[in-house]
């Protein structure tokens, strides 16, 4: 401490911090890198007497509550007490372990097959939208497999090591452009992606109730525009279940159902960002992934996703 007189000054600053004035509320959605939809602005919410309403104000209030619940919508009194709340989530890093399932013997989509022990290390970002999934799979009598799958914007590639292909002689980056949509979808179906995408969908986002639970339904944008997301909130306004559907046959393999539970701050450095501790993904009603989160660093860590030159060239062809 630089002197006791500073404590007095600090107390003064604290008093200022709690005198945040009231004002109106407008919610503007996030573009996810594309032009914001015209409906991204919501009308100022009034009192929400009926949680089953589907008006824009109810949608806005539900999304704001969900965003604040997980620690996505934040403001700080440290010299910024008059600034609005903003979406603070950009980069995250996750370590998880559990079970993944191969396709069944019949190779029918969604049919559970052999189970494998899986270790996941995931780095992701929403600005720009990007994700690197490093997985080690072992068990069922097969040799251990280690994969690194990356997506950023319109590029997807597989790495032989983290950051492969950026420096000559340092690993190999293999273009995987056909996987762009699937990998981006996984990013937007995480709880924070759901809230961001629902905000970005503007007035296309609808609110309903099922068995007393709030349900948000909205389309994704860009290359995933044909995918509709249905997100169910639990009693604490956390994203508990996410389902996708599409009338476009090209997306039939991407349709999925994910359940999130056991929310808390899983970071080594506390952030007040709540993340799910248990994730179960299903296809066709069968689990394809069941993992427990060990650590979820939400503190906007240094994570970058530069696109290797050979991947850019492959995408341009």
Nearest to 195 by CA among 222, 231, 224: 231
In the bound state with other proteins, the residue whose beta carbon lies nearer, of 152 and 282, is 152
Instruction: Looking at residues 49 to 108 of the shown chain, list those that interact with other proteins (rule: CB under 8 A).
Output: 64, 67, 73-80, 82-90, 93
End-to-end Cα, the chain, rounded Å: 60
β-strand partners of 295: 95
Instruction: Looking at residues 262 to 301 of the shown chain, list those that interact with other proteins (rule: CB under 8 A).
Output: 268-273, 297-301
46 lies in the site for other proteins, by CB under 8 A: no
Neighbouring residues of 17: CB distance < 8 A, sequence distance ≥ 6: 77, 78, 81
Q: CA-to-CA distance for 82 and 18, rounded, in angstroms?
A: 10
Neighbouring residues of 20: CB distance < 8 A, sequence distance ≥ 6: 75, 77, 81, 82
In the bound state with other proteins, the residue whose beta carbon lies nearer, of 102 and 162, is 162
29 lies in the site for other proteins, by CB under 8 A: yes
Q: CA-to-CA distance for 295 and 267, rounded, in angstroms?
A: 6
Instruction: Looking at residues 144 to 163 of the shown chain, list those that interact with other proteins (rule: CB under 8 A).
Output: 161-163
In the bound state with other proteins, the residue whose beta carbon lies nearer, of 47 and 178, is 47
Stretch of residues binding other proteins (CB under 8 A), selected from 36-44, 143-151, 203-211, 233-241: 36-44
Nearest to 153 by CA among 129, 177, 133, 122: 129
Binding letters toward other proteins, positions 114-143, x by CB under 8 A: -------------xx---------------
25 lies in the site for other proteins, by CB under 8 A: yes
Position among 24, 47, 211, 250 found at the interface with other proteins (CB under 8 A): 24
Residue bearing tokens 């997306």: 251
Min dist CB 224 to other proteins, Å, is: 17
């Amino acid at each position: 401490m630089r002197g006791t007189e500073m404590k007095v000054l600090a107390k003064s600053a604290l008093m200022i911090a709690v005198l945040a004035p009231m004002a109106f509320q407008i919610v503007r959605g996030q573009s996810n890198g594309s032009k914001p939809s015209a409906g991204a602005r919501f009308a100022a919410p009034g009192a929400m007497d009926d949680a089953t309403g589907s008006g824009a104000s109810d949608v806005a209030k539900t999304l704001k509550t969900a965003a604040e619940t997980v620690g996505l919508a934040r403001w700080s009194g440290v010299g910024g007490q008059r600034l609005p709340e903003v979406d603070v989530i950009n980069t995250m890093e996750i370590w998880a372990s559990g079970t993944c399932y191969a396709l069944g013997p019949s190779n029918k989509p969604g049919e559970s097959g052999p189970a494998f022990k899986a270790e996941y290390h995931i780095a992701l970002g929403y600005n720009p939208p990007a994700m690197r999934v490093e997985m080690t799979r072992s068990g069922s009598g097969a040799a251990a497999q280690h994969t690194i799958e990356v997506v950023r914007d319109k590029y997807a590639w597989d790495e032989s090591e983290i950051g492969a292909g950026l420096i000559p002689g340092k690993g190999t980056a293999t273009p995987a452009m056909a996987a762009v949509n699937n990998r981006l979808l996984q990013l937007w179906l995480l709880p924070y992606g759901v809230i961001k995408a629902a905000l970005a969908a503007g007035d296309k986002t609808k609110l309903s109730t099922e068995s007393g639970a709030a349900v948000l339904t909205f389309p994704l944008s860009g290359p995933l525009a044909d995918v509709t997301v249905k997100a169910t909130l639990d009693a604490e306004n956390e994203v508990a279940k996410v389902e996708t559907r599409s009338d476009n046959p090209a997306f039939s393999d991407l349709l999925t159902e994910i359940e999130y539970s056991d929310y808390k701050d899983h970071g080594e450095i506390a952030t007040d960002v709540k993340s799910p501790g248990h994730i179960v993904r299903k296809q066709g009603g069968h689990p394809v992934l069941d993992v427990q989160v060990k650590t979820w660093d939400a503190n906007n860590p240094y994570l970058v996703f530069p696109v290797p030159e050979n991947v850019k060239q492959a995408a341009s062809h």
